[in-house]
Amino acid sequence: MPDCVYQMGNLRIVDLTKVLDPKTESRRCHLIRYNTGGPIPDFHTALDLTSHLGTHCECPYHHFEDGKSVGELPLTTFMGRAIYVNIDFLEPNSHISAA
């Protein structure tokens, strides 16, 4: 099972978040640490990322001129029954077929 599984009543919530690591990402993923320059050090991190990086969904906004953005979709869109299929044993780019 995934590492981030939470119990809520008789339901399990699975966190599908993918950690972003500039060292392993093939798409644009840059973290720029900087000090704001004031008299007291105040460090921040600027993020330069492509929108198709990490955990995301293809919302209507991405495909239709007047499509809804992810923020406009009801949260229930992303909730429901599911199954977990562990395919960690497969080599990258392996073919998956019906049993």
d(CA 85, CA 96): 12
Q: Supply the pLDDT for residue 4.
A: 76
The contacts of residue 92 (CB under 8 Å, 6+ apart) are none
DSSP state at residue 65: T
pLDDT reading at 3 higher than 50 = yes
Q: Give 65-85 pLDDT, tens digit per residue.
A: 999 988 898 888 888 888 878
DSSP state at residue 69: P
d(CA 99, CA 97): 6
